[in-house]
Amino acid sequence: MSTIKETLYKELYLKNALEVEGIKFDYKIFQEILRKNSHLAVYHACMDNSLDDTTSFLIPASVRLENGIGVAIVKNSNSKYSFEKLEDGIWVVKEGKRLSKISMADTPNYYNLKTTDGAEMRKIAQSGSLTYKEGVVMVTYSDECALIDKGHDCLFCNINATKARFSELEGHQWKYPKQIGETVKAAFSEGYDHFNITGGFIPERRELEYYLDVAESIQNKTGREDFNGTAVIGAPTDLSVLEQYKEAGYRTVAIHPEVWGKDFFNAICPGKAETGGGYENYLEAIDYAIEVFGKGRVRSQFVAGLQPKEYVIDGLETLSAKGVVALALPWIPNIGSAFEGHRTPTEEWHWSVQKANYEILKKNGITSELLYDVLPNPRTVHDFYRIEEGFYPVYPRKYL
């Protein structure tokens, strides 16, 4: 078992490295694969994570490494890692050394379907990960954020730049509650069992009314009062509205401060500071959400790499001790963000944060079931749980 764990941890480190450093490759090596199944291509429903411009060609959304660990593709022509097509397949290579042969994922059946008004379901809701079968469908209801109206985008975010670059190319659209309900029904009918909805801020902060309509549509279409949904929201200035999300049927909620510490928050998230009632209101909203939804049913994320490590660790420790599923996701200096061209910390730095994140969650009683309930979309920290609990390789047991 120790040998298996060592092998998997080595592969998990590679995943971390590839998602931090990105990977260079000639897009043509995937042309035939994507010609046969274009649904494997990344669809930019929210943010573009690649550091190279990919508006003129298709690339896969993700791949599997040889022992089953999934990796989101971040294309970066300056990376020391590369995809190379060799005689027996496509490999991850570094300095001439083969590190892992890759394989492609399956795509869900509902990607081939349309809603009753003709919308492609794959553009309404994306499978949370094409490299695992975790059972989550992800909806980004809007591919733009109203914080841009005052020039107050979060400095690390490129949602509006992504819309400007990909919206016309990929046929982006506003997602209507009826379309979402029909798509979730189709996904659930083939085994999906979790729903996550997010998006940029919309004018006049009308998220609540929209999310309630979406919940009602899903319940009507699926016949499930509990549809295992996660609502990703900005901190409301009226905290009592959190009760309405719970009453509407959302099982869990996500409120993301992005960084830890008021000064960092004000500098990096100026729109959230103004629209979301300020840093203190974000923390109060997280506390109130725990009261409403319960411990282990609230998610908060930090963008790791925007501030010194000790701040990230302190944030993870503080929130996790309260029962929050607190996560650190690696910062990628996206195209079109205010931080484009900056450098994220090293792969070793990010690995140490991910390892600490796992240890903090475990120490504070966050089980794998709770983690998957509030975020089924597999991240590096999920893979720590997988390896330690012994449910690898590909297609592990489902939760809930």
Cβ partners under 8 Å of residue 240, min gap 6: none
Is residue 203 very low, low, confident or very high in pLDDT (cuts 50, 70, 90)?
low
122 and 42, same structural domain?
Answer: no
- Over residues 258-291, the pLDDT tens digits come to 999 999 999 999 999 988 889 999 999 999 999 9
Model confidence, pTM = 0.93
User: What is the total count of domains within the chain?
Assistant: 2
Strand 126-127 vs strand 136-140: parallel, antiparallel, or unpaired?
Answer: antiparallel
Q: Is the pLDDT of residue 353 over 60?
A: yes
CATH of the domain at 361: 3.20.20.70
Is residue 95 very low, low, confident or very high in pLDDT (cuts 50, 70, 90)?
very high
Element spanning 81, H or E = strand 81-86
- Decide which of 66, 101, 136 is a domain's last residue: 101
| 396 inside domain | no
115 and 50, same structural domain?
Answer: no
78 and 113, same structural domain?
Answer: no
302 and 222, same structural domain?
Answer: yes
292 and 166, same structural domain?
Answer: yes
User: Closest by alpha carbon to 200, among 210, 185, 212?
Assistant: 210
151 and 36, same structural domain?
Answer: no
177 and 71, same structural domain?
Answer: no
- Decide which of 101, 133, 156 is a domain's last residue: 101
68 and 121, same structural domain?
Answer: no
Phi, psi of 342 (to 5 degrees): -75, 175
Look up residue 344 and give its DSSP letter.
P
81 and 230, same structural domain?
Answer: no
Is residue 400 very low, low, confident or very high in pLDDT (cuts 50, 70, 90)?
very low
CA atoms within 13 A on the CB side of 188: 20
132 and 88, same structural domain?
Answer: no
- Over residues 210-251, the pLDDT tens digits come to 999 999 999 999 999 999 999 999 999 999 999 999 999 999
Rounded alpha-carbon distances, angstroms, from residue 132 to 9, 156, 168, 234, 379:
17, 27, 29, 28, 11
Q: What are the beta bridge partners of residue 252?
A: 230
147 and 68, same structural domain?
Answer: no
Q: What is the pLDDT of residue 207?
A: 86
220 and 301, same structural domain?
Answer: yes
Q: For residue 258, what are the domain limits?
A: 109-389
| 38 inside domain | yes
Other CB atoms within a 10 A radius of the CB of residue 215 amount to: 25
- Decide which of 58, 77, 101 is a domain's last residue: 101
| 85 inside domain | yes
Q: What is the pLDDT of residue 129?
A: 63
